[in-house]
């Protein structure tokens, strides 16, 4: 009986030796995750990026069996937080909420950006997108998008407040002016809050802002919304036309996704992709994202990477044409 078991024991020892020869990272992938995952949000708490990141982090952590801990690292057009993850170990324990700012506008805006938005990241999934909304004060004689277009063409320009130079809403305004064939005069603020306050107070005539921050003011009647910049009407504001419906070929979104460092192992990337897809198809999560302006299309790592590549290509000439400079 002893002699009969020897071959089996030898096979087990060989298998154990083979596992021992594997790199530690390869062995760890099978049980990943075994500790909390850090999700860097490259903006201050309270903004749209932070809100979206926390919605997904809570639900993703529940599915992975480990907490996904949000860490806010704001600064330099979202490049500080993105850089931190680009330099992290590709072990699945450091992720970033990539966005139209950190992986779209900032690479074109900052000449010495410390990362390559494609080469230095593994892009996993888009998690949300939010159109901008064109806003005026309720006392304005401009009541419709057609009114706005006529007034802008008569003046030869549009003047609008922006939440920051190079934000997605700012570039939506640049695109809108181009579609109208007029100049732009943007009035920069340090955030959407102060800009909205001045718009409500009648200090500035118009603004483009993301739906999550502007929506409550529109519902309260403090601001008049004229149109949204999405390809379709926004779920939370079905009566608002799109800019395209008004004859202006402008489609613009702020978008958000989950990315990791370059070289993230395929098993971890695939697991994250599957779990994020499950989170986003949950009816309660999808309804919450719709409130913020729109849930994303179903994305894969390949399609999200291609999307980021296309956005980089579209933002670069727009930033140059607008003559934007980092603040």
Q: Is there a domain that residue 239 lies in?
A: no
Residue 219 lies in a domain: yes
| 175 and 215 share one domain | yes
Examine the domain organization and report whether 292 and 151 are in the same domain: no
Last residue of a domain, one of 181, 211, 228: 228
Asked if residue 142 and residue 112 are part of one domain, the reply reads: no
Q: Do 164 and 187 have their domain in common? A: yes
Mean pLDDT of 244-267: 95
258: domain CATH number is: 3.40.190.150
Asked whether residue 29 is assigned to any structural domain, the reply reads no
154 and 126, same structural domain?
Answer: no
Question: Are 96 and 119 in the same domain?
Answer: yes
In a domain, 286, yes or no: yes
In this predicted structure, what is the pLDDT of residue 260?
98
Residue 27 lies in a domain: no
Q: Between 133 and 162, where is the model more confident?
A: 133
Q: What is the extent of the structural domain holding 278?
A: 35-130+254-322
Domain check: are 141 and 222 in the same one? yes
pTM equals 0.78
Q: What is the CATH number of the domain that holds 158?
A: 3.40.190.10
pLDDT of residue 61: 98
Q: Is residue 23 part of a domain?
A: no
- Cβ neighbors of 113 (< 8 A, separation 6 or more) are 79, 106, 107
The pLDDT score that the predictor gives to residue 47 is 74
pLDDT digits 0-9 by tens, 148-207: 999 999 999 999 998 777 778 888 999 999 999 999 888 988 777 888 999 999 999 999
> Which three-class secondary structure state does DSSP give residue 278?
helix
Q: Do 81 and 222 belong to one domain?
A: no
Q: Which region among 12-16, 67-71, 82-86, 279-283 has the lowest average model confidence (pLDDT)?
A: 12-16
Do 298 and 212 fall within a single domain?
Answer: no
Both 261 and 122 in one domain: the answer is yes
Domain assignment present for 157: yes
Mean pLDDT on 271-282: 96
- Residue 95 has a pLDDT of 98
Q: pLDDT category, 29, cuts 50, 70, 90?
A: low
**Total of domains in the chain:** 2
Does 45 lie in the same domain as 190? no
- Among residues 228, 245, 266, the one where a domain terminates is 228
Residue 233: inside a domain, yes or no?
Answer: no
From the number of C-beta atoms within 10 Å of its C-beta (0-12, 13-18, 19+), residue 230 rates as buried
With beta carbons less than 8 A apart as the criterion, state whether 229 and 173 touch.
Answer: no
Contact between 195 and 204 (Cβ < 8 Å): yes
What's the average model confidence in pLDDT over 256-276?
97
Which residues touch 61 (CB under 8 Å, ≥6 apart)? 37, 67, 68
């Amino acid at each position: 009986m002893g002699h009969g078991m020897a071959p089996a024991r030898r096979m087990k020892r060989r298998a154990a030796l083979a596992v021992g020869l594997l790199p530690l990272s390869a062995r760890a992938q099978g049980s990943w995750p075994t500790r909390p995952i850090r999700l860097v949000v490259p903006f201050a708490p309270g903004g749209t990026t932070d809100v979206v990141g926390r919605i997904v982090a809570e639900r993703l952590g529940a599915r992975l069996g480990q907490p996904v801990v949000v860490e806010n690292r704001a600064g330099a057009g979202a490049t500080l937080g993105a850089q931190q993850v680009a330099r992290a170990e590709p072990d699945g324990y450091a992720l970033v909420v990539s966005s139209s700012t950190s992986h779209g506008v900032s690479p074109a805006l900052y000449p010495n950006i410390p990362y390559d938005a494609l080469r230095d990241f593994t892009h996993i999934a888009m998690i949300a997108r939010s159109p901008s909304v064109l806003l005026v004060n309720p006392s304005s004689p401009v009541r419709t998008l057609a009114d706005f277009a006529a007034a802008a063409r008569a003046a030869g320009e549009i003047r609008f407040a922006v939440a920051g130079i190079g934000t997605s809403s700012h570039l939506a305004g640049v695109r809108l002016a181009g579609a109208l064939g007029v100049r732009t005069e943007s009035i920069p603020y340090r955030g959407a809050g102060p800009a909205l306050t001045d718009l409500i107070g009648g200090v500035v005539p118009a603004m483009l802002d993301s739906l999550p921050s502007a929506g409550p003011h529109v519902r309260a009647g403090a601001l008049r919304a004229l149109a949204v910049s999405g390809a379709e009407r926004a779920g939370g504001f079905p009566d608002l036309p799109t800019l395209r419906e008004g004859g202006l070929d402008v489609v613009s979104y702020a978008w958000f996704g989950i990315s990791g460092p370059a070289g993230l192992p395929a098993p971890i990337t695939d697991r994250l992709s599957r779990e994020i897809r499950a989170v986003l198809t949950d009816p309660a999560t999808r309804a919450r994202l719709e409130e913020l302006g729109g849930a994303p299309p179903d994305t894969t790592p390949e399609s999200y990477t291609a999307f980021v590549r296309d956005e980089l290509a579209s933002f670069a000439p727009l930033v140059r044409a607008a003559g934007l400079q980092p603040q």
